Structures are given as C-alpha cells and as structure tokens.
Amino acid sequence: MEVEYRGANCVVIKNKKVLIVVDPTDNVSVKEMKNSDAVVLMTQKKFLPNEHNEQNFIIEMPGEYERNDVSIRGIPVRTHIGADEQAKNATMYSIEIDGVRIAVIGHTTAPLDDESLEDLGMIDVVIIPVGGGGYTLDARDAATIVRQISPKVVIPTHYADTQIKYEVTQESVENFVKELASIHEKNTAFKAKILPEALTIYELTRTS
C-alpha cells in the first residue's frame, strides 16, 4: 500500500487491487480520476469535481463500504465552516488496507468528540489538513487531533503551495511540523512496508 499527495486535501491511496482518490477538488490535477475503477472519497459532497468519471465508485456520506478486500467506514463530523456549528455535515473516513488502518480527517473541528474517536478505533496513519486560514484545521488544531488518535504516521495536507489556488491563504506545513515536534521526513510517497516505532510526519512531495 502506498499514499501519494496531489495537493489541497487530495491524496491517492493504492495497492495492487484498489485505487482510492480522496477529495479530488477542481483546483488539483488527478490523473487517476480518469480510471473508471477508482474509488472516490469525498469528505464533503461539494468537493466532487465538475469533471469526473461517471463510473467511479463515489462515497460521500457516512456508512460501511467494502471494495476489493478494503474496508471503508465513513464517520459523520462537524464541518470547519458552517451555519450550524453542531451539524455533522462532513465525513471522515477509516480505511483498512493491507492490514494498515488509515484515518482521513478532512475539514472538521478540533478536538474530535469521544464518539468520533471510538468510531475511528485504532489508527496507524492519519491524513489531515493543516493550512488553517479559517478554512480548515490549523497547525495547532491538527496537532491536537493527531495526539488524540496517537498514530504511527501523520501525512499533512492542504498547506501553502504556490502552484495551487486556495480560497484563502494557507499556512506553511512547517508550522505544523514545529507544532507537533515529531520526527519529520520528506518523501515522494509513503509506502507502508514497516511502520515507524515513533510518531513520524511524512511530508509528501505533490505530484500529479
């Protein structure tokens, strides 16, 4: 299993049997969206790009899903921005693939409540936005959620990038690295052959 970063909150999670694309919004380039077999996870319904393959298996709400020996659980959470602060109009996901348990957090609020943490269960890898700006989790809130979950690996997303147009200015990923104060590695992809013993931040190079 490996994870690649496409920019914004979009990552691609794949193995030999399944291809999962998370939040392929219109401001990022994701070649995998042309693959009719792709499973598309949306943390909010509005993030589905205007141009997408109608044959994609699209998941955009809470529930239990199964695809080629991969288990996906959608869990309702509050959106970071919304008129009703209590409404759970966003979805975070727990994914089990090749024996690795991944949490995709999305644009929610911190801290997570006890019910959400229980629904997530034990997690090895957390994928979480960190750019702040009032649009999504900032470095401090993202670090709070990571500490609540206690994974082995965290992959930050949705941070400042001169090649991506955001609705609001995003903070540097370095703010999150400093806030979490954990081991920090830079890679083109995360490959889950052996999980690290101590919490490690994997900053992935954006690819398309």
**In the predicted structure, residue 55 carries a pLDDT above the cut 90:** no
pLDDT digits (tens, 9 = 90+) for 159-197: 999 999 998 999 999 999 999 999 999 999 999 888 999
Give φ, ψ of 107 to 5 degrees. Answer: -90, 80
pLDDT digits (tens, 9 = 90+) for 118-132: 999 999 999 999 999
3-state secondary structure of 34: helix
Which pTM value belongs to this model?
A: 0.95
Rounded CA-CA distance 56/20 in Å is 10
User: Cα–chain-centroid distance for residue 147?
Assistant: 16
